[in-house]
C-alpha cells in the first residue's frame, strides 16, 4: 500500500545568477519539507534563465553541481525530489532534463524533454528550443514508495498520446516542470493540465517559475495540481509561492469507477502504440 503523498510545489523566481537560483530553490524546498511535503517539484530550467543563449553556458553534465545539490537536498530533507529541469550536457548535446531523486539522494529517473518547444505566434511568443537543445527519446514512469510517478516537461503536456502511454504504463501522478508564457499561458495552461488529468484519470502537477516581467521570457506562473476529476486543487498565482497539497491515490479508483473513460476505450478501433 503506497504511503500518502504530500506534494510541495516550489514556484520560485529564476534569476540570471545560478548560485542565487540554487539558494532560492533550497529555501523553497526547506519550506515545503517544513510543511510536511514528502515529494517536491521545482520549475522548468530552475537554475538558468529560459533563453537559448543561456542553455550552453549554464548547462552541466549529470553528476555536476546542480545534480549534487538536488541529490543532497533530497537526502537531507528525506523527500522525493523532482528537480525541475536543467540544461544537461552530454557530449555535444544539451537536453532539457528533469532528475527524480529518492529520499536517500539516489537518482531514480531522468526525463529528457521529448517535445521541444518550437513555436512562432505572430505578434506573440516565438521560441525555438531546437536551436540549442536535443530532444529526449524516452517515456519516463517510475515505481516509488509513493506510487507510480510519470515525468514530463512543459511542452510535453500538449501531447495527449504521450500522456496516454504514461497512463498505460501505470502513472498515477505525472509531474511537469514547466514555463508557459504570456501568449499561451492565459489560454492553454489550465486547460492542458486539466485535460491531461481528465484523460488519464490521474493527478497531474505543473510547477512554473514565478512571473518576472523583467525577464526576456516571461513565465506565466500559476503552478497547479489537478485531480483525476479535472479539478484544480491549488493554483499558486503569479508570484513566488510554496504550496503543499495532499493527494489520495485512492481517488483514481473512485473516479475511474464513476466514469469509465479508461476501461471504456474502444481499442478495437483505436490504440496507442505501447498500450498494454
- Which residues are annotated as catalytic? 44, 113, 154
Q: Pick one of 70, 154, 197, 242: the residue that binds ligand LYUYDEPV (CB under 6 A).
A: 154
Q: What three-state secondary structure class fits 183?
A: coil
> Which sign, positive or negative, has the C-alpha torsion 51, 56, 57, 60?
positive
* Least separation in angstroms between CB 68 and ligand LYUYDEPV: 25
Name residues contacting ligand LYUYDEPV, limited to 100-129 (CB under 6 A): 117
* Least separation in angstroms between CB 168 and ligand LYUYDEPV: 23
Cell of 106: 539516489
Angle ∠(163,165,141) on CA atoms, nearest 5: 85
Strand partners, 90: 93
CB atoms within 10 A of CB 212: 18
Q: What is the dihedral of CA 48, 183, 204, 228, to 10 degrees?
A: 170
> Which sign, positive or negative, has the C-alpha torsion 89, 213, 35, 200?
negative
* Least separation in angstroms between CB 158 and ligand LYUYDEPV: 5
Smaller CB separation from ligand LYUYDEPV, 58 or 155? 155
The answer to whether residue 160 forms part of the interface with ligand LYUYDEPV (CB under 6 A) is no
| Chain Cα centroid distance, residue 50 | 15
Q: Pick one of 179, 197, 204, 205: the residue that binds ligand LYUYDEPV (CB under 6 A).
A: 179
* Least separation in angstroms between CB 78 and ligand LYUYDEPV: 30
Name residues contacting ligand LYUYDEPV, limited to 16-45 (CB under 6 A): 44
Where do contacts with ligand LYUYDEPV occur on this chain (CB under 6 A)?
Answer: 44, 117, 154-155, 158, 179-181, 184, 188
Amino acid at each position: 500500500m503506497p504511503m500518502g503523498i504530500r506534494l510541495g510545489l516550489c514556484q520560485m523566481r529564476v534569476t540570471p545568477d545560478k548560485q542565487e537560483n540554487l539558494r532560492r530553490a533550497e529555501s523553497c524546498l526547506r519550506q515545503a519539507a517544513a510543511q510536511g511535503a514528502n515529494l517536491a517539484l521545482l520549475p522548468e530550467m530552475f537554475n538558468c534563465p529560459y533563453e537559448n543563449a543561456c542553455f550552453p553556458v549554464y548547462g552541466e553534465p549529470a553528476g555536476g553541481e546542480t545534480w549534487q545539490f538536488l541529490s543532497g537536498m533530497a537526502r537531507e530533507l528525506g523527500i522525493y525530489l523532482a528537480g525541475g529541469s536543467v540544461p544537461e550536457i552530454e557530449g555535444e548535446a544539451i537536453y532539457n532534463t528533469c532528475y527524480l531523486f529518492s529520499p536517500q539522494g539516489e537518482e531514480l529517473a531522468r526525463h529528457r524533454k521529448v517535445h521541444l518547444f518550437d513555436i512562432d505566434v505572430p505578434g506573440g511568443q516565438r521560441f525555438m528550443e531546437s536551436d540549442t537543445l536535443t530532444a529526449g527519446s524516452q517515456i519516463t514512469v517510475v515505481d516509488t514508495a509513493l506510487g507510480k510517478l510519470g515525468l514530463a516537461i512543459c511542452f510535453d503536456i500538449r501531447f495527449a498520446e504521450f500522456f496516454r502511454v504514461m497512463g498505460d504504463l501505470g502513472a498515477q501522478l505525472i509531474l511537469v516542470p514547466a514555463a508557459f508564457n504570456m501568449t499561451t499561458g492565459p489560454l492553454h495552461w489550465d486547460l492542458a493540465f486539466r485535460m491531461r488529468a481528465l484523460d488519464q484519470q490521474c493527478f497531474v502537477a505543473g510547477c512554473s517559475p514565478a512571473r518576472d516581467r523583467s525577464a526576456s521570457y516571461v513565465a506565466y506562473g500559476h503552478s497547479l495540481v489537478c485531480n483525476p476529476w479535472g479539478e484544480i486543487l491549488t493554483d499558486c498565482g503569479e508570484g513566488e509561492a510554496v504550496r503543499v497539497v495532499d493527494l489520495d491515490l485512492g481517488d483514481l479508483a473512485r473516479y475511474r469507477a464513476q466514469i469509465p473513460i479508461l476501461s471504456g476505450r474502444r481499442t478495437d478501433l483505436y490504440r496507442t502504440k505501447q498500450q498494454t
